[in-house]
Structures are given as C-alpha cells and as structure tokens.
C-alpha cells in the first residue's frame, strides 16, 4: 500500500511539473465533474485536490491562486448546473433512482433547506456524500436562485481553499521532514 501511494504521489508530481499550464483547466474540470450529481460518486476529487495542494507545498511548481480559482469556479459551476437540473426537471428527478426509492427524501430536503437556508448549501459542500446531491435537491425544492448562488459561490471558494491549504501544508511538512532527515 505504501509503495502504491508513493507511486501515485510521484505520478502526480511529475504530471504537475510537466503540465503546469494545463493544471488549472484540469483542476476546474475535475471540480466541475465532482460537483455534478451522480458523477461525483465515481470521481474522488476531494483527494485529488488535497494531493495537488501537497504538490504545491512540496515543489512550489504550481500557482496556488490559479489552482484555487479553477477548483472553486469548477465546483460552483458544477453545483449551479445540478441546481438548474433540479429546478427544471424536479418532477422527473422524483422518478429517478435513488430518489424514487425514498419518497420522503425531497420533503425532508425541503425541510432541511427551510431550516438552514443558505447554510444548507455551505454545510453540504463539506460533507462528502451530500456535496453533489444538495444542489439538485435545492433546485428540486425550489430554493431561491439568488440564495443558492450566494451560498454556492462563497462555499466553493472556501472549500477549494480549505483543501488546497491542507494539502499545501502537508507538502511543506513532508518537504521539511525529508530535509531534516537528510533525504532531500
């Protein structure tokens, strides 16, 4: 397992160094995909973004701010699209799996949004399984558009910054540890 993780980490570092100009576009695309309902179940962008932050901290080879902006914009656009799907296809969504198997899900979602308002979107951004389903449910239960977008965009930047800073700090700690051990 350690060797596999090291190989993946080495691959990410090599890719980031070789494709620096494309990194923001790739990060934005991954964040967009990870924010879409259903697609996010197979795209583990959370881990990838922390790893990219680690690359930034360990190598300094990528621009932190361009990566952060790309991740935030991609995530916000993905949630915006999911919200739009929920708002325009709310009747069809009620018939889709897994919602059709849980008929109380949308009424519970509506109560959740009524109770928490915009904070429901912010909280959902930081909870793995809910991250991509919150926007589609917000649209389906007719959360006001402006309320959703304010929470969406602000939480997207906060989410991207949190993950990148976490990774950046891990990268700096690893670099410092290797230097202290005389291995770098």
Give the pLDDT confidence of 52-98 residue by residue, as tens digits: 777 776 667 678 899 899 999 999 999 999 999 999 988 887 787 76
**16 pLDDT band (50/70/90 cuts)?**
low
- Tokens 């389903």 sit on residue: 133
Domains of the chain, by residue range, sit at 2-180
Which band of pLDDT confidence, cut at 50, 70 and 90, is reported for residue 7? Answer: low
Instruction: Dig out the tokens for 128 from the structure.
Output: 């793995």
């Amino acid at each position: 397992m350690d060797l596999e993780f090291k190989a993946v980490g080495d691959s990410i570092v090599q890719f980031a160094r070789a494709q620096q100009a494309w990194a923001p576009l790739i990060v934005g695309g991954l964040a967009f995909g990870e924010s879409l309902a259903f697609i996010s179940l197979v795209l583990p962008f959370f881990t990838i973004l922390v790893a990219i932050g680690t690359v930034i901290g360990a190598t300094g080879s990528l621009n932190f701010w361009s990566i952060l902006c790309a991740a935030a914009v991609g995530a916000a656009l993905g949630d915006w699209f999911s919200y739009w799907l929920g708002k325009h296809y709310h009747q069809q969504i009620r018939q889709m799996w897994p919602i059709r198997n849980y008929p109380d899900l949308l009424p519970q979602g509506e109560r959740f949004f009524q109770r928490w308002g915009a904070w429901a979107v912010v909280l959902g951004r930081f909870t793995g399984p809910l991250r991509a389903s919150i926007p589609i449910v917000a649209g389906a239960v007719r959360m006001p558009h402006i309320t959703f977008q304010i929470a969406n965009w602000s939480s997207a930047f906060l989410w991207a910054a949190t993950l990148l800073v976490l990774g950046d700090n891990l990268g700096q700690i690893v670099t410092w540890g290797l230097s202290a051990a005389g291995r770098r």
